[in-house]
């Protein structure tokens, strides 16, 4: 790891500054290491938490003390994504996560319950203990294809890894769940009605309600800090050819989300509005702690579709600002509830490999 030791004194000063304090970054020296790039003015005291493999979707507990994420690392015998949890390290500590999923099947999209004693995640382990097959993209013109495994269901477990309840039992894909800060409901993506739509339900799996009904993939939804709004990514086919392709892929439990835009609506799905119109893939959106902005990942600046960087915008989509500068992949952003910490996943500092790792930083507004 190339550390930020050469800037340790500077970063300590930045870390001690209040979240809302403005900083004149033009007066500061440039960041020359591969963890914190020049131009990433909202990040301070950047720390790499994982080293090797594919580590993604790292999300804070409600008290900000723990992270939960999914990990694949064949070198460690983890053939496909499993859920891991670890305490956010204090200064001088290392990140030491533990396995909290079953270790079988494939898992995705973990999230903490407000009590800090339970988690939820999607898993295919009831369908098979083996990792489900990866689609052969050569059959589809080498397009970027996501498998929508029918055996995915959502489970509630305690933080020791013991499953205490199966939350979904319908045929088809159920995953991508997050919980409202109000602690009263969760939102998730399901195929139960024949399309990939958003649904809400109580934390015990009851009172399921469909809240999107437009043809296309709706997923990766989050609630606003006050629980009154939701934000998500949507891939909506519009032309006859796009609709035909979408339906043909969906019949094979596949989706090709190469064009996604960010949407915001009321928590019940009403008054839905598209807030990005950038083309290509705009996804992994999340609200800022003040509820007045959102952060998202996008490749819209690059015709070849890569790299992906993170951007900040007002909730109406205006004033879009680029906030990350890696030339590979930056995504899955999340703020701690107090707005002081920021976690994301990135290809940075991976030694030229395809590894994706977790990074945490102080957020400087």
pLDDT tens column, 67-110 = 999 999 999 999 999 999 999 999 889 999 999 999 999 999 99
Gap between the Cα atoms of 347 and 244, Å rounded: 35
Instruction: Give Cα 133 to chain centroid, integer Å.
Output: 22
Name the fold adopted by 49-363: Neuraminidase (2.120.10)
Euclidean distance between CA atoms 11 and 8, whole angstroms: 5
- Nearest of 174, 167, 172 to residue 203 by alpha carbon: 167
pLDDT-above-90 percentage for the chain: 86
HSE of 151, CA atoms in CB hemisphere, 13 A: 15
Give the C-alpha distances (Å, rounded to integers) separating 33 from 37, 141, 261.
Answer: 7, 38, 32
Share of the chain above pLDDT 70, in %: 91
Contacts of 120 (CB under 8 A, 6+ apart): 110, 111, 113, 154, 155, 156, 157, 167, 177, 179, 186
| Residue 190: closest CA among 209, 166, 206 | 209
Res. 305: pLDDT tops 90: no
Q: Are 37 and 325 in contact (CB under 8 A)?
A: yes
Mean pLDDT along residues 295-319: 95
Q: Are 235 and 255 in contact (CB under 8 A)?
A: yes
Check whether 142 has a pLDDT greater than 60. Answer: yes
Q: What is the mean pLDDT of residues 15-42?
A: 54
Place of tokens 């997923």: 219
Quick one: pLDDT at residue 30? 37
Residue 60 has pLDDT above 90, yes or no: yes
Can you say how many angstroms the Cα of residue 94 is from the centroid of all Cα atoms in its chain?
23
- Answer yes or no: is pLDDT of 335 > 60: yes
pLDDT at 2: 32
Report how far Cα 192 is from the mean position of its chain's Cα atoms: 23
Average pLDDT over residues 165-174: 96
Which residues, at least 6 apart from 342, have a Cβ–Cβ distance to it below 8 Å?
A: 42, 43, 333, 334, 335, 336, 360, 361, 362, 363
H or E stretch covering 51: none
* Structure confidence at residue 332 (pLDDT): 98
Could you tell me the two tokens for 270?
């009403």
Q: Please tell me the pTM assigned to this model.
A: 0.90
Dihedral sign of CA atoms 64, 70, 75, 76 in order: positive
CA dihedral 143, 144, 149, 152 (to 10 degrees): -170
Q: Domain ranges in the chain?
A: 49-363
Three-state SS at 11: helix
Residue 120: per-residue pLDDT: 98
pLDDT at 361: 97
Q: How far is residue 182 from each of residues 109, 228, 265, measured CA to CA in Å?
A: 20, 9, 17
The mean per-residue pLDDT over the stretch 138-165 comes to 95
Query: Are residues 211 and 200 in contact, defined by beta-carbon separation less than 8 angstroms?
Result: yes
Give residue for tokens 């030491």: 96
Name the strand (E) or helix (H) holding 12: helix 8-16
Give the pLDDT confidence score for residue 268 in this predicted structure: 97
pLDDT at 34: 76
- Determine the pLDDT at residue 303: 86
Give the pLDDT score at 98.
98
Instruction: Please compute the mean of the pLDDT values over residues 141-163 and round it to a whole number.
Output: 95
Tokens of 53: 């493999």
Of 347, 57, 7, 67, which is closest to residue 220 (Cα–Cα)? Answer: 57
Higher per-residue pLDDT: 354 or 14: 354
pLDDT the model gives residue 238: 94
Residue range 203-255, pLDDT digits in tens:
999 999 999 999 999 999 999 999 999 999 999 999 999 999 999 999 999 99
**3-state DSSP call for residue 248?**
helix
Cβ atoms < 10 Å from Cβ of 190: 26
Q: Would you state the pLDDT for residue 22?
A: 35
Cα–Cα dist 306/60, whole Å: 27
């Amino acid at each position: 790891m190339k550390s930020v030791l050469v800037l340790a004194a500077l970063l300590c000063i930045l870390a001690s500054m209040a979240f809302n304090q403005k900083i004149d970054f033009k007066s500061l020296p440039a960041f020359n290491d591969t963890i914190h790039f020049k131009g990433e003015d909202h990040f301070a005291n950047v720390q790499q938490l994982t080293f090797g493999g594919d580590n993604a979707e790292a999300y804070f507990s409600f008290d900000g003390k723990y992270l939960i994420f999914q990990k694949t690392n064949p070198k460690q015998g983890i053939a496909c994504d499993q859920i891991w949890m670890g305490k956010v390290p204090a200064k001088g500590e290392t990140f030491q996560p533990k396995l909290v999923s079953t270790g079988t099947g494939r898992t995705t999209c973990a999230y903490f319950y407000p009590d800090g004693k339970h988690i939820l995640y999607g898993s295919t382990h009831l369908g098979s203990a083996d990792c489900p097959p990866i689609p052969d993209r050569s059959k589809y013109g080498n397009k970027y294809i996501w498998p929508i495994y029918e055996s995915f269901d959502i489970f509630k477990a305690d933080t020791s890894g013991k499953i205490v309840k199966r939350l979904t039992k319908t045929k088809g894909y159920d995953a991508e769940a997050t919980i409202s800060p109000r602690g009263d409901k969760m939102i998730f993506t399901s195929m139960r009605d024949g399309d990939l739509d958003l649904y809400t339900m109580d934390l015990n799996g009851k009172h399921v309600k469909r809240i999107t009904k437009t043809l296309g993939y709706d997923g990766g939804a989050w609630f606003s800090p006050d629980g009154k709004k939701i934000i998500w990514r949507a891939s909506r086919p519009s032309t006859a050819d796009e609709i035909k392709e979408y339906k043909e892929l969906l019949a094979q439990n596949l989706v090709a989300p190469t064009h996604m835009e960010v949407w915001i609506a009321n928590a019940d799905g009403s008054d839905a509005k598209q807030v990005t119109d950038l083309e290509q893939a705009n996804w992994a959106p999340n609200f800022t702690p003040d509820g007045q902005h959102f952060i998202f990942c996008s490749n819209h600046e690059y015709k070849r579709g890569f790299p992906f960087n993170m951007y900040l915008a007002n909730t109406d989509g205006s004033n879009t600002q680029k906030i990350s500068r890696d030339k590979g992949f930056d995504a899955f952003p999340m703020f701690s509830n107090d707005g002081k910490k920021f976690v994301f996943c990135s290809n940075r500092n991976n030694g030229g490999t395809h590894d994706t790792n977790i990074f945490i930083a102080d957020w400087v507004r």
